[in-house]
Amino acid sequence: MNPRIDRDIAGSIDETESKQRFPIVRSSKPADPAATTADPRPEGVTIVLLQDVLDAPELGIRLLHGDAAALTLPLHRACTTDMPDPTRYVSAGSLVFTGLVWRRAPEDSEAFVAHLARAGVAAVAAGEALFGEVPADVVDACARHGLPLLAVPDDVPFSSVIEFLTRRWSGARMDRLQTGLARQRRLLAAFADGHALDELLARVCREFDVPAWLFTATGTLVAGRDTIGEPVIDACCAIALTAPRLPAETADGHTVLPVGAALRDRTTAWFLVLGAGAARSEDCVDAFTELATVAALERVRREDRLRAVWDTADARGVADTAGATHPAGTPLVAVVVERAPTGTPEQRIALRAAVHDVLPSCVTGLDAAGRTVAVVAGTESAVVATLTRRLGRLAPALAGARIVAGVSSTCAGESIDGGIRSAESAAAIARGDAGPVSVRAAELDSAVGLLSAVPDRVRRAFADRTLGRVLDYDRRTRADLMTTLETFLDCDGSWRRTADRMHLHPNTVRYRIGRVEALTGRNLAHIGDRLDVFLAMRALG
């Protein structure tokens, strides 16, 4: 037969290109006629089985090889081919019709059937017109490879069988559509009545006896009651963020379904994960796809609530909002998260939303540089571990950009401003790290690091007491004492190096530093006084 005709016939009767296929169950046991009398379909599920072809009296098709399990195989497609190597013209789950034109000698049967078995077809339907019957070598080859074999009488054209299957598939599609609409109406009604998303997910899981989970792109669990390991979540997140289209399947058989617009910024996406093997049932996938529509509504609802929380935090300030949210004495941790390069306003908002996914109870704001500043109850080590794992899952979707985060040590309400400064310093260090995502904890192994954890009002008061008169003198005289002092400290107190860097005479440097000492009451030749002045300058920011 012409290969082009093969492709046209196969394409014209394909039930659906996008559905997941059932696994092929094969056996070399002889046929059991008694097993053909019971309908194996679950109640309410409409699918086309190999048994349906045998049960149609007008077709007169007989089973030459296959057991009871073979008769329960769902058929999704019919292909007609007489090519010696039919691999290009058949697909998994197909019922393959052949007129046996390819058979020139008995040994040809082994090669033809082996090709079909490797392609994963559901069954073979051989016409009897050419030889008056299906040759024994064809039957034997199908038995060796575990392929069910049907005999099509010489007076029954393949087109009649294909028309029969097409009508059944059309009816099955309509039944599934009606069942899906009814199920979706029930889910929407339950959601409108206030039933939680976790409860609705549990209902569908019980209906199909399939575990399932609803996640954000960072792997934060939204709904789902079964246990699932972190490595599985990692794999599912990677698929959800990188697959060219969804649904998609992980290497271990978990199915990932989109929730809402899956191809927009996936770092803010939600997705459903079905337990391994769930994709074998089209009705199951349809049901969870309908649930995903309801989940998309919940996602929009949560986004609206989050925006309201943001407005409050932005109006009051992160530190004040966090202090008012948590009881006095609650251990708090400050976090600064940024995208490098900074990105668009939408990307900054997406990163802020991701921080809320990772740290659901946090208070956030955006600083002048567009960074997300967060305050959350907890400990430094726990926050670092959570950020590292969950923000790390966004790496596949960053497309060359980076996410860096700094985490402060534990602070109380009155020292939140200091914690934020400490987190900013840690984030600055994280920028120098390699890799798409870096999280750094603040280091309190230096005087500057210790100062950053001091409450902001205390730090400002210290700076004003130490350098206030110098600042006032500069404002009145423009003597540039502060610049000279900063350069002098940066040059380790060297008059010559300071003069060279500022292009001044050393005596000018000595005069200016003398004025600083007179105004501050500190002797910069003494290490303690010099440290006080250095820390005061750092406190000024």
- Which H, E and C letters describe 129-143, residue by residue? CCCCCCCHHHHHHHH
Judge residue 230's burial from the number of C-beta atoms within 10 Å of its C-beta, 0-12 exposed, 13-18 middle, 19 or more buried.
exposed
Determine the Cα–Cα distance for residues 416 and 328; give it in Å rounded to an integer: 12
Cα angle, residue 220 at apex, residues 216 and 226 outer, rounded to 5°: 105
Contact 498, 488 (CB under 8 A): yes
Biggest distance spanned by C-alpha atoms of the chain:
118
**In the chain, how many H helices and how many E strands?**
19, 15
Question: In the chain, what are the domains?
Answer: 3-169 (3.40.1390.20), 196-298 (3.30.450.40), 317-452 (3.30.70.270), 456-539 (1.10.10.2840)
Runs of H (alpha helix) within 17-157: 50-54, 68-71, 107-119, 136-145
Distances (CA, A) of 80 to 11, 12, 382, 455: 10, 11, 61, 79
Distances (CA, A) of 124 to 4, 24, 47, 127, 411: 20, 13, 19, 10, 72
Determine the Cα–Cα distance for residues 420 and 373; give it in Å rounded to an integer: 7
Q: Which residues of the chain have pLDDT under 50?
A: 1-45, 263, 445
Q: How confident is the model at residue 132, as a pLDDT?
A: 93
Nearest Cα neighbor of 246 from 225, 267, 266 is: 266
Determine the Cα–Cα distance for residues 367 and 354; give it in Å rounded to an integer: 16
Which position has the token pair 């599920």? 45
**Bridge-based pairing state of the strands 221-223 and 437-441:** unpaired
Is the full-model pTM beyond 0.75?
Answer: no
Nearest Cα neighbor of 464 from 454, 476, 472, 452 is: 472
